[in-house]
Copies of this chain bind each other. A is one copy, B any other.
Amino acid sequence: MSRYWSPQVHQLSPYIPGEQPRIPNLIKLNTNESPYGPSPRVMEAIQAANNETLRLYPDPQATALKAALAQYAGLSAEEVFVGNGSDEVLALAFQAFFQGRTEPLLFPEITYSFYPVYCQLYQVAYKMLPLRTDFTLPLTDYQQPNGGIIFPNPNAPTGIAVSLAEISRLLEHNQDSVVIVDEAYVDFGTESAASLIQRFPNLLVTQTFSKSWALAGLRVGFALGHPDLIEALNRVKDSFNSYPLDRLALVGAQAALEDLPYYQALNQKIIASREQLSQDLTALGFEVLPSKANFVFARHPHHSAADLADQLRQNAILVRHFKHPKIDQFLRITLGNEEQNQKLIKTLAHLVTTDR
């Protein structure tokens, strides 16, 4: 606390990201990174950079990356926005669309915990709507007065997806405020809402290179939507920071987009290992929510999730546990590679059979 702080800084409870500890031989299943590296073309593109490219400012419009993303998404470059990770894209979107509204922003009670933090930062009124008891998202509840709607699809940390038909119905009934579908995990088996952009000028879809593209270290996210929405994002971004993407991130993300077969194979591998891990956890007595993400959300009827997380940590396996009372019996487990997943199952088998 300090008298030099702006009034609202005192009120902030910042988002706490998963740990990035430096423990040797750690099996790190806590922050939903890809267990595999990105396309080799990414490293090639980065290594092709030279001193000349380091000393010059990046393209503030990220023209080449936007063009590549437009082609990837089947949209025009005017329908694409890029930012420093989808967290930055979301923050700018809260400013561009939700700040200063009379009606509250609506989002799920159990969801990405950065949303209420953005609301504090930009003083956006919000209302959290409960999930169903099976943790599915009842989108019909969102047909009520609002200053905007945001939800991840699939949702985090449950991993459960809603259908394109449900999103389409919501948009038909909600045309006066912006609806953001946060698709950080969409590539692991959910249909993207990007196909609805032509019909709904109030739909913004956000995605990231951190998960399915295996580039969390590069910080690149993007948004797709009607050119009017993209223009608002550009106005806010250009009033904040002209060049949030450095030259290496720009060329790296572009190179990743040029190797779609690698990316598709990567996603198939993750999906297959998710089905395997879900089966294995179920065999150990866990209840596993039907995940469409690169993580599973699971609870055991006889074991405290907090205790299991601690015991896994003692075995150099890091998973994520949230203290929210409605989900504090769950572990969120990022999919590792095959060896890591087997090690996890072996360790959990030991814990849940011997430790009652």
Q: Does A286 contact B (CB under 8 A)?
A: no
Q: Does A311 contact B (CB under 8 A)?
A: no
Q: Does A15 contact B (CB under 8 A)?
A: yes
Q: Number of A residues contacting the other chain (C-beta, 8 Å)?
A: 90
Q: Is the CB of B38 within 8 A of A57?
A: no
**CB neighbours of A216 from chain B (8 A):** 54-58
Stretch at the interface among A71-79, A189-197, A242-250: A242-250
Q: Is the CB of B38 within 8 A of A238?
A: no
Task: Return A154 CB to nearest CB of chain B, in Å.
Answer: 20
Q: Does A314 contact B (CB under 8 A)?
A: no
Q: Is the CB of B238 within 8 A of A57?
A: no
Q: Does A214 contact B (CB under 8 A)?
A: yes
Task: Return A172 CB to nearest CB of chain B, in Å.
Answer: 16
Cα-based distance from A60 to B14 in the complex (angstroms): 12
Q: Does A120 contact B (CB under 8 A)?
A: yes
Q: Is the CB of B84 within 8 A of A57?
A: no
Q: Does A7 contact B (CB under 8 A)?
A: yes
Q: Is the CB of A57 within 8 A of B217?
A: yes
Q: Mark A229-252, 1 if CB is under 8 A from B, else 0.
A: 101101111111111111111001
**CB neighbours of A87 from chain B (8 A):** 240-243
Task: Return A8 CB to nearest CB of chain B, in Å.
Answer: 6
Q: Does A50 contact B (CB under 8 A)?
A: yes
Cα-based distance from A219 to B62 in the complex (angstroms): 14
**CB neighbours of A2 from chain B (8 A):** 228-229, 231-232
Q: Is the CB of B239 within 8 A of A120?
A: yes
Most buried by B among A28, A98, A249: A249
- Other contacts beyond A6-B98, A54-B216: 8, CB < 8 A: A14-B239, A15-B242, A43-B54, A49-B217, A56-B217, A84-B84, A91-B240, A218-B246
